[in-house]
Chain A
C-alpha cells in the first residue's frame, strides 16, 4: 500500500472526478479513444496518418479537458481546453503537415526497427503493464476516474514505444507528442485543479519544440536527404 499516503494527500488537497459520475465516464471514454488513436498511430506507416491520428487524439483530449472544466466550473481549465484544441488539435497538425510532410515530401515511413505486428503486440503488453503498475484499488476510492490514470500511463508508454520502434525523426516527434498528451491526460484525471501556469508553460515548451524540430529537420534533410536517427549517428565526431 505504498501508494496510499501520496494518494490520500492528493485527495485531501484538491478536487477530483468521481469514477462513477457522468464526467468520470466521459473522461474514461476519452482516454480509451486516445489510446485507440495511439494504437492506430503505432499500426500505421503513412506520415499523413500519424498527423491525422495525433490531431484526433488532441481533439479528444481537449474534449476531456472541457468535461473536467464543466464539472468543476473552472475558468483555467476552460482556457486550457481551448488552448489544447487550438494548439494541439489544429496548429501543430497543420504545421507538421504543411511545413514538414509536404515540403519534405514525406509519405511512407520505411524506417521501422520492428514489424508493425510486433510493435502492436508490445503496445498491448505495455498497456497491461500500465494497469499492473498502477494499482487502481490503491487510488483514493471513488474520487478519481481511476481507469483514466492507468490509461494515461499506457499512453505515455505507447508514445515512448512509437519513438523506439520508429527511426525517422518526424515519426519520433509524433511519439513524443503522444507521450505529452498522456502526461496532460494524467494530470487532468488525477488533479483537476492544478496551477494554470504550469500547464501554460508546458504549452510554450511544446510549441517551441515543434518549431525547433521543423527548422532542424528541414535543415538536416536539405544536407543529408534523409532524417532517420540511424543516419544521424554518423554525424558524431
Chain B
C-alpha cells in the first residue's frame, strides 16, 4: 500500500512528537547505568508530562499573556522543523523544500526567543539569568552553525538537508571526505551545546550557578511547563535526527512511500537516535562541566572545526 505524501509528512511530525520523551527517557536510563544506578523508568518522561498536564497553571504577578502564549509558540516551532528535515524518507516530501537549514535554524531561534521573552515577563532573577545566558551562548555558537551550513552549501550547491543527505548516500567517499567529517564534528559539538549537555550545561541539575536552558522555565507550571519540557525533548530529537540523517548515517530511511518501508524507518530512526544519545551520555560521564566563562573555549573549538571544513573545501582538499 502506498501512503499519500501528505500522510508521510504528517507521520514525520507525529513520530518526533510521540517518541521524543521516549528517547529522553532511554538516554537518562543509559546515563544511570553508566553511573551504576538503576535510574528512572524509560517511560518516566511520559508520566511526568501526564502529571504536569493535570496540574493547574500559576502565573506570576504582573506577567501578561506573553507568558502563557510563549510555551505554545515554542512547542509549535519545534514541531515545524520535522517538516523540513529527512526524518523517515530519503525523498523530499511536499513541504520539504519550504525551508532550508537556515530556515530550520530560524524556527528554532524563534522558539528560544519566545521562551526568553516569557522569562523576561516573570521578573524572576533566575529565569531571566537563564534566558540571558541562553541568548549569549546561542549567539556564540551561531557562527559554527553558519559555517557548517556554508560547508553544506559548498558541497551540494544548495542548503537543503535532503540534498546533503542524498550527496552523503551517493558514495562512502562522500561521507568520509575531510570537509564533511570536519563539518559533522563541528555540528556534533553544536548539538552538544544546544541540547544542554555536559561540557556546557548539566542538563539534569537544578544548581543555579551553571544553569542555562533549564533555568528559563523556572516560573512555569502545569501544562505550560509540560509543553516546555516536551518541547525540549522534541528539540533534542530533532537535532539528533539532523545529526544522524543528514551528516553521520543517512541510511535506513524509507526509499518509497510504501507503508512497510515507512513504518520500518521508524525503529531504525529511533535506533540511530539512541546510539547517538548513548555517545552523548558517555561524554556526559567522562568530561566535567566547564566553568561558565570557559564555555567560550568550547564554542571556539566548534568554530575552529567548522572554519577548517570551509577552508579545506575552498583550497581544494575537501
Contacts and interface: CB of A to CB of B under 8 A. Distances in A.
Interface of A: 20, 22, 25-26, 28-29, 31-33, 35-36, 39, 43, 115-117, 120-121, 123-124, 127-128, 131-132, 136-137, 146-147, 150-151
Interface in B157-191: 172-173, 176-178, 181-182, 185
A127 B308 contact: yes
Contacts of B56: none
A121 B304 contact: yes
B316 A131 contact: yes
Interface stretch (B130-138, B228-236, B294-302): B294-302
B111 to A, nearest CB: 28
Interface SS of A by simple majority: helix
Contacts, number: 80
A123 B304 contact: yes
B317 A124 contact: no
Interface residues of B, number: 24
Given A120-B300, A150-B317, A29 B311 contact: no
A43 B300 CA distance: 9
Contact of A117 (B176, B177, B300, B318): B300
Interface in B172-227: 172-173, 176-178, 181-182, 185
B23 interface: no
Contact of A25 (B172, B296, B305): B172
A168 B140 CA distance: 30
Q: Quick one: which of B172, B185, B312 has the most chain A CB within 10 A?
A: B312
A128 B313 CA distance: 10
A137 B316 CA distance: 8
A39 B176 contact: no
Contacts of B301: 39, 43, 116, 120
Given A121-B304, A127-B312, A151 B176 contact: no
23 contacts: A26-B176, A29-B181, A32-B182, A36-B181, A43-B297, A115-B297, A117-B296, A117-B300, A120-B297, A120-B301, A120-B303, A121-B307, A124-B308, A127-B312, A128-B308, A128-B311, A128-B312, A131-B312, A131-B315, A131-B316, A137-B316, A147-B317, A147-B318
Given A28-B176, A131-B311, A39 B317 contact: no
Nearest to B317: A147
